[in-house]
């Protein structure tokens, strides 16, 4: 039997004298570095990209033709009903929503894939992962499908807030408005201005509760996590086990015990009724404790040898090194407190939150459907904006929360 020998590749010594280049050269000599994969065949990739874009364009044309046919049938449905019956028309209208969703997916696919192909063709060199081109294409396709599924509700909400009232009740519904308008937002401002409690009061209440609750949650969770992560004391593991168990219970489960406790404390119908439970949220303590365990103990011991106290170590050494963790806690806390209406613990109208006031407008009936769509956009704007600006910190925290030295 004859075995095929691999061709001998010439390994050139690096011209630069940097330590990284020398180490890479020695690793190549020992055979510890894999051979570089061939470069991307741009002609082949261009042909595949054109085929994919043509298929998506054909799907877009097909969806548009079907939607036009359905719209023509709805303009004069008598002949169609006489031929196939009422149920056939209802089934046809329900199918129209699928064609509209398909059109949105196809358009988004053409934009995203076209941008990806354009960047790939222009980029001269890039560090390739350890997989083939088809593996890259499959992963990006899967990620694109998931991204469309997650982004569609947000896009639909924003588009609905820009629709006039007649388009909101159109069937089959359209994702994007034919005549976009900002009347829903202006009507919302007018309605809020007619309330006997000023709109600014609701906003100030929400901002105050969010800021104080978030600040207290970060400080308390960080201090408790520092003790649990870096010091051994009797009952520490049991206490952390209780915290992990508390992660299983939602606010609806703990609502009645919290109300009884706050009633005994006499803080019902005050801001503290929302702020104090936020201080004890278990997610912050869990994330901070897991992240702090990744800090080297030698760093803290060196600070002790230099004469630093516990508070100095906590504020000057620990907190700067766990910045991704407490930024993640801030995001979670802001999202929770901003969306809290506090209707079960706050009864005075002048102390209620912005979300509560907006939800009352949202429940105003058919005449306020457009304002309800605008309310949905206003409520979700702040949490989504904060998350979008700090998503890299969240990913870093989640990736490091289980690491230990």
Instruction: Kindly report, residue by residue over 84-110, the tens digit of the pLDDT.
Output: 666 666 676 667 777 777 777 787 777
Tokens of 81: 């009903």
Question: What is the second-level CATH architecture of the domain 186-400?
Answer: Orthogonal Bundle (1.10)
Question: What's the pLDDT band for 21 if we cut at 50, 70, 90?
Answer: low
Instruction: Kindly report, residue by residue over 133-144, the tens digit of the pLDDT.
Output: 677 777 877 888
Spell out the residues 6+ positions from residue 81 whose beta carbon is closer than 8 angstroms to its own: 88, 89
- Element housing 61 (H / E): helix 42-75
Q: Is 337 in contact with 274 (CB distance < 8 Å)?
A: yes
Tokens of 41: 């065949």
Residue-by-residue DSSP string for 235-273: THHHHHHHHHHHTT--TTTSHHHHHHHHHHHT-TTSTHH
Question: Could you tell me the residue ranges of all domains in the chain?
Answer: 42-180, 186-400
CA atoms of 210 and 157, how far apart (whole Å): 24
Instruction: Kindly report, residue by residue over 151-160, the tens digit of the pLDDT.
Output: 888 888 888 8
Residue 53 confidence (pLDDT) above 60: yes
Distance in Å from the first CA to the final CA of the chain? 51
Token pair 């051994």: residue: 232
Instruction: Kindly report, residue by residue over 275-317, the tens digit of the pLDDT.
Output: 888 888 888 888 888 888 888 888 888 888 888 888 888 888 8
CA atoms of 402 and 159, how far apart (whole Å): 40
CA atoms of 302 and 296, how far apart (whole Å): 10
Nearest to 231 by CA among 317, 289, 173: 289
pTM: 0.59
253 or 275: which leads in pLDDT: 275
Nearest to 93 by CA among 172, 173, 175, 174: 172
Tokens of 294: 């990744």
Give percent of the chain with pLDDT exceeding 70.
75
pLDDT of residue 212: 92
Residue 185 confidence (pLDDT) above 60: yes
Question: What's the pLDDT band for 253 if we cut at 50, 70, 90?
Answer: confident
Residue 403 confidence (pLDDT) above 60: no
Indicate left, alpha or beta for 174 from its phi (over 0: left) and psi (-120 to 50: alpha): beta
Residue 347 confidence (pLDDT) above 80: yes
User: Quick one: how far is CA 15 from the chain centroid?
Assistant: 46
The pair phi, psi for residue 96, each rounded to 5°, is: -60, -35
pLDDT of residue 191: 78
Nearest to 155 by CA among 105, 212, 120: 105
CA angle 368, 374, 377 (to 5 degrees): 145
């Amino acid at each position: 039997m004859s075995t095929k020998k691999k061709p001998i590749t010439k390994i050139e010594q690096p011209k630069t004298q940097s330590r990284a280049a020398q180490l890479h050269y020695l690793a190549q000599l020992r055979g510890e570095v894999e051979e570089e994969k061939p470069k991307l065949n741009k002609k082949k990739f261009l042909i595949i990209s054109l085929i994919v874009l043509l298929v998506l364009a054909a799907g877009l044309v097909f969806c548009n033709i079907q939607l036009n046919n359905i719209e023509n049938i709805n303009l004069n449905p008598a002949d169609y009903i006489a031929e196939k019956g009422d149920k056939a028309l209802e089934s046809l209208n329900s199918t129209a929503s699928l064609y509209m969703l398909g059109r949105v997916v196809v358009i988004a696919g053409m934009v995203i894939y076209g941008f990806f192909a354009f960047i790939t063709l222009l980029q001269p060199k890039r560090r390739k992962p350890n997989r083939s081109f088809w593996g890259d294409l499959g992963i990006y396709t899967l990620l694109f499908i998931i991204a469309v599924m997650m982004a569609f509700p947000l896009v639909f909400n924003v588009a609905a807030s820009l629709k006039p009232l007649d388009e909101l009740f159109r069937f089959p519904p359209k994702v994007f408005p034919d005549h976009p308008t900002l009347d829903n937002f202006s009507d919302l401002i007018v309605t809020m201005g007619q309330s006997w409690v000023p709109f600014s009061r609701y906003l100030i209440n929400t901002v105050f509760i969010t800021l104080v609750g978030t600040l207290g949650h970060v400080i308390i969770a960080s201090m408790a996590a520092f003790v649990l992560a870096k010091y051994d004391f009797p009952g520490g593991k049991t206490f952390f086990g209780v915290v992990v168990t508390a992660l299983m219970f939602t606010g609806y489960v703990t609502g009645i015990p919290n109300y009884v406790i706050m009633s005994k404390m006499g803080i019902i119908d005050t801001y503290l009724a929302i702020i104090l439970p936020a201080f004890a949220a278990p997610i912050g303590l869990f994330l901070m404790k897991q992240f702090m365990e990744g800090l080297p103990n030698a760093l803290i011991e060196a600070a002790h040898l230099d004469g630093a106290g516990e508070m100095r170590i906590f504020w000057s050494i620990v907190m700067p090194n766990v910045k991704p963790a407490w930024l993640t806690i801030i995001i979670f806390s802001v999202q929770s407190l901003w969306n809290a209406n506090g209707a079960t613990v706050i009864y005075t109208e002048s102390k209620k939150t912005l979300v509560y006031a907006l939800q009352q407008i949202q429940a105003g009936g058919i005449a306020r459907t457009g304002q309800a769509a605008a309310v949905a956009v206003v409520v979700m704007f702040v949490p989504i904006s904060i998350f979008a600006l700090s998503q890299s910190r969240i990913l870093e925290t989640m990736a490091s929360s289980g690491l230990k030295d």
